[in-house]
Amino acid sequence: MARIEAGGIVILDYGSQTAQLIARRVRDLNVFAALLPFDATLDDAGREVPDFRGIILSGGPASVYEPDAPGLPGWVLECGRPVLGICYGMQLLTQALGGRVAGAQQREYGQAAVEVVERGALFAGLDATQTVWMSHGDRIERPPAGFRVLARTANAPYAAIAQPERALYGIQFHPEVRHTAHGQAMLRNFVLNVCGAVAEWTPEHFIDASIARIREQVGSGRVLLGMSGGVDSAVAGELIHRAVGEQLVPVFVNHGMLRQGEPDAVLELARTLGWKLIAVDATEEFLSALQGVSDPEAKRTIIGATFAGVFEREAARAGRLDWLAQGTIYPDVIESAGTGRPGARRIKSHHNVGGLPEHLRTRLVEPLRELFKDEVRAVGERLGLPEAIVRRQPFPGPGLGVRCVGEVTWERLETLRAADAIFLSELRAAGLMDAIAQAFAVLLPVRSVGVMGDNRTYDEVVVLRAVTTDDFMTADWARLPDDLLARISSRIVNEVPGVNRVLYDVTSKPPATIEWE
Ligand code: XMP
C-alpha cells in the first residue's frame, strides 16, 4: 500500500525559529511535509517522504561564508526536484550555484514592501506590491547565472529570484509567518503548482492509514496505553482501538489531582468508545506519599515515582503485554532529532513511563508521531471524540499537585478544584476559552485577613492565571475584561469555603513560568 506521506515536501532545517511553521503551513495545504536535519541524506528524505516532490530550505542564524556554516547537501541540486530556499536557504542556493552573498549594510528586520517585477510561478495571482516579513543580515549581491529577478525591495535588490527551467526559487523574506500577508498563497504556488505535490494529507486519510499501519505493526499483540484524559492519549487510544479492538489495554490512574469532573469524563469516554478501561483510584496512595511535602521539585518527583509504581503494578496484572503506546507528537520528534542543530541529530525519543518491563520500552506504538498538536485535534474531531477532550488545554502530568502551592491535601485540592471550575466556566460563558492558551487557578499557602458579614476571616488566597501563547515557551498574561474578573472573584469568595481573596497574575513568561511550581 502506498504510504500517505508519499508525494509530499521535504524541508531541511537550518535552525530558523520558524522552520516548524513552514511544515505546518505546507500541511495546511493538505500536503505532507517533514522537517529533516540540514545534513539529511537522500535516503533519509525518501524514507520520510517517499516520492517527495520538492524541497524547501529553511532560514537559519548562520552566514554562508562562515567556516562552519551548515551547507547544502549535494543531492538537493542533483535530484532534479524543485527547490525553494527561504532566507538562509536562498543564500545557500546562491552560493552553491556561483552567485555572491554578502553582509547587508543594514540588517533588515520587520515588515517590508516588495515590488514584484515578474510574477513567474511563485507570485502567480498576486498583486505587484506585497507586504512581507524580513529578518536577515546577509543578502544576495549577485544571483547565480541564469537566475531572474522576481521581486525587490529598497534594501534587497534580489528579494526573490528564480531559475524556472530548473524550478529553483529563492526568497529573502519569510512566507511562513502571518506578517507576510500572502505568504500562504506563495507557498501554495510553489508546493502545488511548481512541485505538483499530492494534496491528500487529511484527517480522514490519516485515520485510515494509521489504522492500517497499527494493525501491521501490532499484529496479534496487546498494547498498553496510559490514559490521562488529555487529547493525545485519547486520540492515540482510539486509533489503536479501531485498529486492534480489545488488544488495546488502556489504564487510567486517577492520582486525585485532576480538575473537577475529569475522572468521570475519562470513564464516560471509555464507555462511549467501548474501551475496556482499567481504572484505578490511587488518590490515597498519592496523598499519603505527598504528606508533609511542600517543595515543588520533591512533589513532582514523588508524583512521578508514585505514578510509575501504580502504572507498572496495574500493567503487571493485565497479563501479557507486547507493546507500549505513547502519545509522542511531531514537535517531540523534531526536538529529539535536534533537526536544526549541528551534531545534535537523532537522540532517541522520550520515554515517559519509568519502571516498565524492559521489552516494552523499545516496543513502542506511537500513532501521533507525525502530527502537530492542531492535527491531533483535527483527527480527534474526525474520530468523533467529545469537544471537551479535543479542545482541552494542556494540563501538567502532576496535575493540581503543582497548582496547590505548599502541602497537597484532599481539602486544599477540593478548594482549588472549586475555584478553578468557577474560573473556567466563566471564561467559557464569556466565549474567551479559544482566545486563551491556558487558564487555571492556583491555591497559595498564605492566609490573609478579610471580613465577611460582621466576621473577621483568615483564609487562603486563590490566584487566577490566564495566558496567551503559541508555543508555551514564551507567554503573555491575558487581558481579561474587568467586569469578568470582578464576577469571577466575587463568585469564588462567596462560593468556595476557605478562600477570602482572589488575585490575577499579570506576569509574562519569561521571567515567570506559566505554572507556579
Ligand atoms: P511552564 O510552567 O514551564 O509550563 O511555563 C509550560 C507548559 O508545560 C506544562 N507543564 C507540564 N506538562 N508535565 C506536563 O505534561 C509537567 O510536569 C508539566 N509542567 C508544566 C504547563 O502546563 C505549560 O503548558
Q: What is the CATH number of the domain that holds 41?
A: 3.40.50.880
Domain finish residue from 362, 390, 418: 390
Under 8 Å between Cβ of 252 and 266: yes
- pLDDT for residue 347: 32
Residue 379 covered by a domain: yes
Residue 306 covered by a domain: yes
- Distance, in Å, from the CA atom of 37 to the CA atom of 338, rounded to the nearest integer, reads 7
Distance 22 CA to ligand 1 centre (A): 25
Q: Is 70 helix (H, G, I), strand (E, B) or coil?
A: coil
438 lines ligand 1 (CB under 6 A): yes
> Which protein residue has the closest C-alpha to ligand 1 atom 11?
396
Residue 455 covered by a domain: yes
Distance 396 CA to ligand 1 centre (A): 5
**Is there a single domain that holds both residue 312 and residue 366?**
yes
- pLDDT for residue 346: 39
Distance 508 CA to ligand 1 centre (A): 15
Distance 402 CA to ligand 1 centre (A): 10
Under 8 Å between Cβ of 437 and 475: yes
**Is there a single domain that holds both residue 317 and residue 286?**
yes
Segments forming the whole domain that contains residue 144: 9-194
- pLDDT for residue 342: 58
For residue 259, what is the domain's CATH number?
3.40.50.620
- pLDDT for residue 358: 75
**Is there a single domain that holds both residue 416 and residue 385?**
no
- How far is it between the farthest Cα atoms of the chain? 87
Residue 509 covered by a domain: no
Strand partners, 220: none
Distance 333 CA to ligand 1 centre (A): 18
For residue 470, what is the domain's CATH number?
3.30.300.10
509 lines ligand 1 (CB under 6 A): yes
**Is there a single domain that holds both residue 212 and residue 268?**
yes
338 lines ligand 1 (CB under 6 A): no
- Distance, in Å, from the CA atom of 33 to the CA atom of 48, rounded to the nearest integer, reads 9
- Distance, in Å, from the CA atom of 312 to the CA atom of 322, rounded to the nearest integer, reads 14
Ligand 1 atom closest to the CA of 512, numbered from 1: 5
- pLDDT for residue 435: 94
**Is there a single domain that holds both residue 166 and residue 209?**
no
Contacts 24+ apart (CB under 8 A), 450-454: 450/493, 450/500, 450/501, 452/493, 452/500
Q: Could you give the angle at the alpha carbon of 334 between the alpha carbons of 383 and 109, nearest 5°? A: 110
Specify burial of residue 318 (Cβ count, 10 A radius: 0-12, 13-18, 19+): middle
- Low-confidence spans in the chain with pLDDT less than 50: 343-353
**Is there a single domain that holds both residue 186 and residue 327?**
no
**Is there a single domain that holds both residue 22 and residue 94?**
yes
Residue 74 covered by a domain: yes
- pLDDT, tens only, 447-482: 999 998 889 999 999 999 999 998 888 899 999 999
Domain finish residue from 177, 194, 211: 194
Task: Indicate yes or no: pTM above 0.75.
Answer: yes
Pick the closest to residue 117 from 143, 151, 146, 140 (CA basis): 151
Ligand 1 atom closest to the CA of 393, numbered from 1: 24
Q: What are phi and psi of 503, to 5 degrees?
A: -115, 155
398 lines ligand 1 (CB under 6 A): yes
- pLDDT for residue 353: 46
514 lines ligand 1 (CB under 6 A): yes
**Is there a single domain that holds both residue 253 and residue 234?**
yes
109 lines ligand 1 (CB under 6 A): no
Cell of 259: 480538575
Residue 34 covered by a domain: yes
Residue 512 covered by a domain: no
Residue found by looking up cell 522576481 in the block: 150
Domain finish residue from 194, 225, 260: 194
- pLDDT, tens only, 201-250: 999 999 999 999 999 999 999 999 999 989 999 999 999 999 999 999 99
515 lines ligand 1 (CB under 6 A): yes
> Which protein residue has the closest C-alpha to ligand 1 atom 16?
396
**Is there a single domain that holds both residue 121 and residue 70?**
yes
**Is there a single domain that holds both residue 251 and residue 362?**
yes
Residues classed as catalytic = 87, 174, 176
Distance 430 CA to ligand 1 centre (A): 25
Specify burial of residue 6 (Cβ count, 10 A radius: 0-12, 13-18, 19+): middle
**Is there a single domain that holds both residue 422 and residue 321?**
no
**Is there a single domain that holds both residue 283 and residue 173?**
no
350 lines ligand 1 (CB under 6 A): no
**Total count of domains within the chain:** 3
Residue 179 covered by a domain: yes
